[in-house]
Structure 1
């Protein structure tokens, strides 16, 4: 079998076109796909491809092994990134749920839900941190468990708090891995180096993904106050 391809007149360098050919002899593999990539100077007039039919069970075994290897690579990558780029300070403490010079509160019961949210939350805690010798929190953080009812994974790209006066504060963010579709869910941590009094809470927390319309808005967010010890 031979296939003759004539590029279009406006074919650009780097442009990619997928070509799929299908075989009529009933043997496996039943088709093959190729990517044609434009180049300003390099190219070839002829490409030879040899097809060796193999039993379907052999192809299925190779496919399953390749998919398992790819999943393992993704898991290893996520673990290594988490170990190398894990959040520090109060965000790290909230992520690991470590005890220390911080106070936390379960704010799940007081938060306001919005029906238009792309994801829903089912766990929420807020944290405040005070440096030694100071009575006011130096940092505040919110830790959320989000469940993704959509069809595609969700990755946190940005977060902000909006106070009762409409002032918006951009937040640092941490997410170990994209939140998969389905009931499993995943955690995100967002925070800033400010005290609650500077934020004017109760606040509205906004989360969004990169280049997508799927957002999460959570109302009535507050942070615990650290009580100053009596002299």
Structure 2
């Protein structure tokens, strides 16, 4: 297993620029090689600056398919929608030509949508060219929450489901998430974290083995040919 590579930046602006440049280069390379590229991104407030820089990249966005790593089960009109956040902060300017694949289907619950979503995501080209993850202060990433009702299934390294519905005490709304195997085989896998608190949590996660207590450990310790890249700024 390749050990994670830790990239430290003096400012969040510098981090966003570097991460965006790296992701853009991977996407451009995939387009040049295969004619298309795939990208999975996380929601929340942390990636907004990264989205701004990435959205300015002069690549063939019409050949890029973007999806979310996970989503709250809310419509795009909700201020809790990650889909709306990505559309607002990434898909503007030249990047508006990209195809953004939604999770939310309008079903009452994510469980009711699973068959449709599995059919949708089984057709997404794998592995993803780039996957950008975040991390919560509880040690979750994607919707891999401590205490989630089906954590063992979504973290199973040999699982065959592309997506899973998740309910957890710390999740707020019910969620839908890509499973661990869908994420960790990405050509570029990055963990984007900011602030001293999250650096300390990352240090705790990398030193321990209890995945149920800190599910991000499943990503940090996944078997990969290329290392996970951790991007951090104060």
Question: Which range, TM-score by smaller chain?
Answer: under 0.3
Which protein shows a greater Rg? 1
TM-score, normalising length from structure 1?
A: 0.21
Higher strand share: 1
Greater relative contact order structure (CA < 8 Å, 6+ sep):
2
Higher helix share: 2
